Amino acid sequence: MQYTLDRFTHDIRAALEQTGRIPADLTELSEPKASLQADLALACFRAAKAQGGNPAKLAQELAATLQFPPDALVGKVEASGPFLNFTLNAGQFGGAVLGDVIHGVEHYGDDDLGASKTVIVEYSSPNVAKRMHVGHIRSTIIGQALLNILAALGYHTISDNHLGDWGKQFGTNIASMIRFGRPEGNGEAALAEIERLYQRYNRMMKGENADTDDEADDEQMLDDEARSWSLKLEQGDPTARELWQWMCDMTLRVNQRNYDRLGVHFDMAHGESFYRDMTAPVIEEALAAGIAMREPGGAVVVKDLSDERGHELPTFLLQRSDGGTLYQTRDVATIEYREREYRPAIVIYVVEQRQELHFRQAFALAKALGHARDTQLVHVHFGTIFGANGEPLSTRKGNMVYLEALLNDAEARARAVVLEKIGAGKTELPPEEIDAIASAVGIGAVVYNDLYQDVRRNITLDWERMLAFEGNSAPYLQYTFARCCSILREALNRDTSANLLEGLPPFEAMLLREPQEQAVLKQIARLPDAVRRAGQAFAPYIIAEWLYTTAREFARFYRDLSVLKAATPELRAARLALVAATAQSLRNGLHLLGLAAPERM
C-alpha cells in the first residue's frame, strides 16, 4: 500500500531516474541526521564514482536540474556536500497525511504486504494441570501483539494455543488424584491444588515423606502405579481419559478467563495430544532417511544433524526405549501437520528462551526430512520477568507470579492510582467508569511492560514505573489518547464516535505550518512504516516506540499551541483535525499492541 511517505520517496526516486544521471539501483534514499532540516537524502558517492565524477558536483548539478511543481509533496531540493537533501512540502504534506487517516480510519497503518499468505502464530501454550508461569504470561502477551500486527499487514492469521497436554507426567497426575481424590474449586487455586497433589505424590515416590499423614508406601509401588496410569492413558483407558480430560478442561477454563481479560483469542488449541498419533510416521521417516538410528536398547536417536547455519546440534531422542515419544517428536509432527493443512508462509513460535535448542533441533529435523521447504519457521524467544528490585521469581522462594493473581494485582493497583487522581481533583471520572478504567490501565500496564522494548530483554515488575502517568508507560499513552478525545468532545460538543475524524468542521491542512504541528504530522505519517517493520522483524516494540514518540510530540504541540482558542476559526479547525488524526492513529497503535484505549481517564 502507498501512504504519504511512500509517495514522497517514490516521487523523488522517479524524478532522479528521469534526470538520466542516476541509475535506478543507486537512488536509495536515507533519513538524514536529525540535526538537518531535511527529510530524505541521497548520498551521491556511488553514482559519481560510476561516472568518474565528483559527488559534490553531481549533487549540485542534480539540485539545479530537479524541478517539482508547487503542489508536489517534495519541497526544497538542496545540495550539501556530497548529499542531495529533500524536504517535504509542508503545505501539501499535512493534507496528504490527514487524507490518509481520514481514508483509513481504524485501518490507517494497515497494509497488504501479507495478502494471500498464511501465518500461524503459536503462543501462550501453557501446560495442563499447572498454573501459567511467567514464561507463558509473556508468550501470551507477545504472541497476541504479533498476531494483531500480522493481521494488520494483510496476512491470513491463525492463532494456535499449543497446550502441553501430553506426556509421562500425566500418569503421575492421575495416580495422585486416584490416591488423594480430585480437588474441589476452580480458578488458579484449583490448579495450584492439582500441582500440590502431584508434588506430594512425587515426594512420596522419591521417599521424601514430608506429609506426616502419608503412609509409608513402597516407593517402587508408587512409581509403578504412575507408570501404569501413563500407559493406560496412552491406551485410552476410560478412567485415565476421564481424569485427563477433566484436568484439560479445568486448565482451559481457568486460562480462558485470563485470556478474556487480556483480549487474547485463539483460533484453535491443538495441544500436544492432538499430534500423538502423528509421531509414528515421523519416526519411520527419519529412520528411512537414515537421519535417525535405532539403538540396541530400542531408543531412536538423531545424531550429527546441523542447523541452517551449519552448526552441529547435540544428539536427541525421538523415541524412548519403552516406545514412548517425546516433546521433540511431537513438534516435528506438528510442523508436518501444519504444512499439510495450512501451507503457511511463516510459523512463529513464541516460547521462552530456554527452549532455543529444542526448536533448532525440531526445525532442522523437519527441514532435513524435506518438510517446510517454503515455510519460515521462527522461534521468537524472550527474556524473563524479575521482581521490582530485580530479584528472580521462583516457586521455591514463594515469590512466583501467576497470571490470574498478576492481573488482579494490576487492577487493584491501577484502581488505587485512579482513585488518588480523582481525590486530587485531577480527573472527573464518573464513578460507574472507575472499574473499566482501572482494568484498562492495570491490564494495559502489564501488557505494555512486556512490549515496550525488544522482547529478548528481561523485564521487571516495577509497578511504580508501569503505572506512572509520565514516561514510557501504558497509562501515559492511554492518557494522551484520552486527552485528545476530551479536546474533541469539547470542540464538537458531543461524545466522540468510533470514527474519531467524523463530523469535524471543514479544515485547511495547509495552515498547519508550525514546527510542532509538522512534527506531529510526521509522526502520524510514520505509523504505516512502524507497522511494517514491526511485522517484518516480529518486534512489537517498534510500534511501542512509535506510540511513545507520537505522544511526546503531541504533548509538545499541545503545550505550545492553542487548539480550542486558536487565533482564527480556520486555524482552530485545522488543529482539531490534527488532534483527531493523532487520536485515531494512537488508538490504532494501542490496539495493535492489545491495549485498551478508554476515551476518558
Question: Quick one: 131 or 261, whose CB is closer to ligand ARG?
Answer: 131
Among 131, 138, 162, 200, binds ligand ARG (CB under 6 A): 162
| Distance in Å, CB of 166 to ligand ARG, minimum | 10
Spell out the residues 6+ positions from residue 431 whose beta carbon is closer than 8 angstroms to its own: none
- Does 351 help bind ligand ARG (rule: CB under 6 A)? yes
Binding piece for ligand ARG, criterion CB under 6 A, among 120-128, 281-289, 513-521, 551-559: 120-128
Footprint of ligand ARG on 169-208 (CB under 6 A): none
Element (H, E) at 84: strand 83-88
84 and 78 in contact (C-beta within 8 Å)?
yes
| Distance in Å, CB of 334 to ligand ARG, minimum | 6
Element (H, E) at 40: strand 40-43
Question: Quick one: 274 or 349, whose CB is closer to ligand ARG?
Answer: 349
Rounded to 5 degrees, φ, ψ at 395 are -65, -40
Spell out the residues 6+ positions from residue 586 whose beta carbon is closer than 8 angstroms to its own: 477, 480, 481, 484, 547, 550, 551, 554, 597
321 and 334 in contact (C-beta within 8 Å)?
no
Rounded to 5 degrees, φ, ψ at 119 are -130, 135
Site string for ligand ARG, 203-232 (x = CB under 6 A): ------------------------------
- Rounded to whole angstroms, the Cα distance separating 230 from 227 reads 5
Which residue, among 94, 13, 27, 153, has the nearest Cα to 523 in the 3D structure? 94
Question: Quick one: 131 or 522, whose CB is closer to ligand ARG?
Answer: 131
| Distance in Å, CB of 307 to ligand ARG, minimum | 17
Question: Quick one: 276 or 600, whose CB is closer to ligand ARG?
Answer: 276
Tell me the residue number closest to ligand ARG, measured at CB: 164
- Rounded to whole angstroms, the Cα distance separating 416 from 306 reads 54
Question: Quick one: 127 or 375, whose CB is closer to ligand ARG?
Answer: 127
| Distance in Å, CB of 572 to ligand ARG, minimum | 54
- The site for ligand ARG, by CB under 6 A, has a size of 8
Rounded to 5 degrees, φ, ψ at 485 are -65, -40
- Does 114 help bind ligand ARG (rule: CB under 6 A)? no
Which residue, among 293, 288, 360, 300, has the nearest Cα to 324 in the 3D structure? 300
Among 225, 331, 411, 553, binds ligand ARG (CB under 6 A): 331
Site string for ligand ARG, 569-598 (x = CB under 6 A): ------------------------------
14 and 26 in contact (C-beta within 8 Å)?
no
The amino acid that residue 486 corresponds to is S
Footprint of ligand ARG on 13-52 (CB under 6 A): none
- Does 164 help bind ligand ARG (rule: CB under 6 A)? yes
- Does 125 help bind ligand ARG (rule: CB under 6 A)? yes
Q: What is the DSSP letter of 73?
A: S
Cell of 476: 501515559
| Distance in Å, CB of 348 to ligand ARG, minimum | 11
Rounded to 5 degrees, φ, ψ at 417 are -65, -45
Footprint of ligand ARG on 52-91 (CB under 6 A): none
- Does 138 help bind ligand ARG (rule: CB under 6 A)? no
> Which residues here bind ligand ARG, judged by CB under 6 A?
122, 125, 127, 162, 164, 331, 349, 351
